[in-house]
Amino acid sequence: MPELPEVETVRRGLARSIVGRRVASARLLRRDVLRTASRSGQAALLAESTIKEVLRRGKHLAVVAEDGRALGVHLGMTGQLLVAPIGKPQAARDHVHARWVFDNGSTLIFRDPRRFGGLWSYATLDALRTARWAGLGADALHVTARQLELGLAGGRRAVKAALLDQGVLAGVGNIYADEALFRAGLHPCRVAGSLTDPEVGRLAESIRCVLREAVRAGGSTIRDYAGSDGSPGRQQERHLVYGRGGQPCVHCGTLLTAFLVAQRTTVACPRCQRLPKSYSHSRSTHRTFAGVD
């Protein structure tokens, strides 16, 4: 499942490839992938307009044309946007749902085998923002301490559950929530609203850092991505806690513990991410294992 860094990598690759290019032709190959029932596939897919910019909020993308129209894209679980450069045909692939040809001969396809993703067409970017992005919290890659503080304030659920809530913070998934909490030295079961200002500041900075690093790691494979095989960057080797339950903490050597928060597997260091003494065992398990809000 693409997380924010992969989506940002896709955005950057797209911006490089299609901004300033005119859509010579566009074809919708599978009708129901376009989730907004309105215009013809051609118009919805920005045919005959020039691409002005590619934006992202959380895991949502928006391709904006110079004439003001906007196309929302969500990659869901298995969605891909693949560019084949000028003179290079797209590799034969199945599950191609939409296809664009640009004025310079480059092509773009949207494929999504499991179809949890999709395309959303709007007359304006404002309309797209209202319909698709209004319920999203601050973008995680750029979240400020103040924005995070507002998102967590008064929250009674576990801080990790709050981080996974797209209405609090857009774009943080399970991997980066664990990584950011570890770097901030905060236990995932801390009650969201109980974090002090310095803790929130540390957490906001950790979130931005882990995501920036992951974008950089993904960015290194952008050429492959845009050129041929479409595999986004992977960087498991950089994870300090995610997927490392039972292994030693990179800081203190204590064995990392794995447990559930909001029904998601969570890994933390019991020493570097201590729970305050006021948290009895029963209280933390009670609150967090059930994902109680």
Q: Which two tokens stand for residue 292?
A: 């109680």
Among 7, 73, 269, 279, binds Zn ion (CB under 5 A): 269
What's the min distance (Å) between Cβ of 257 and Zn ion? Answer: 10
Residue (91 or 252) nearer to Zn ion, CB: 252
- DSSP-assigned states of every residue in 117-185: -EEEEESSHHHHIIIIITT--EEGGG--HHHHHHHHTT--SBHHHHHH-TTTEET--HHHHHHHHHHHT
When asked if residue 255 is in the footprint of Zn ion (CB under 5 A), the reply is no
Please indicate whether residue 264 is annotated as part of the active site. Answer: yes
Q: Which of 21, 115, 212, 264 is catalytic?
A: 264
Residue (195 or 269) nearer to Zn ion, CB: 269
Query: Using an 8 Å Cβ cutoff, are 57 and 45 in contact?
Result: no
- Distance between CA atoms of residues 24 and 179, nearest Å: 43
What's the min distance (Å) between Cβ of 252 and Zn ion? Answer: 3
Residue (174 or 273) nearer to Zn ion, CB: 273
Please indicate whether residue 213 is annotated as part of the active site. Answer: no
Nearest residue to Zn ion, scored by beta-carbon proximity: 249
Query: Using an 8 Å Cβ cutoff, are 173 and 4 in contact?
Result: yes
Q: How many residues bind Zn ion (CB under 5 A)?
A: 7
What's the min distance (Å) between Cβ of 273 and Zn ion? Answer: 7
Q: Are strands 169-170 and 138-139 parallel, antiparallel or unpaired?
A: parallel
Q: Which of 59, 157, 183, 190 is catalytic?
A: 59
- Distance between CA atoms of residues 234 and 17, nearest Å: 22
Among 86, 91, 153, 252, binds Zn ion (CB under 5 A): 252
Please indicate whether residue 59 is annotated as part of the active site. Answer: yes
When asked if residue 251 is in the footprint of Zn ion (CB under 5 A), the reply is yes
- The single-letter code of the amino acid at 268 is A
Q: Which two tokens stand for residue 236?
A: 């498991």
Residues that bind Zn ion (CB under 5 A): 249, 251-252, 254, 269, 271-272
Catalytically active residues are 2-3, 59, 264
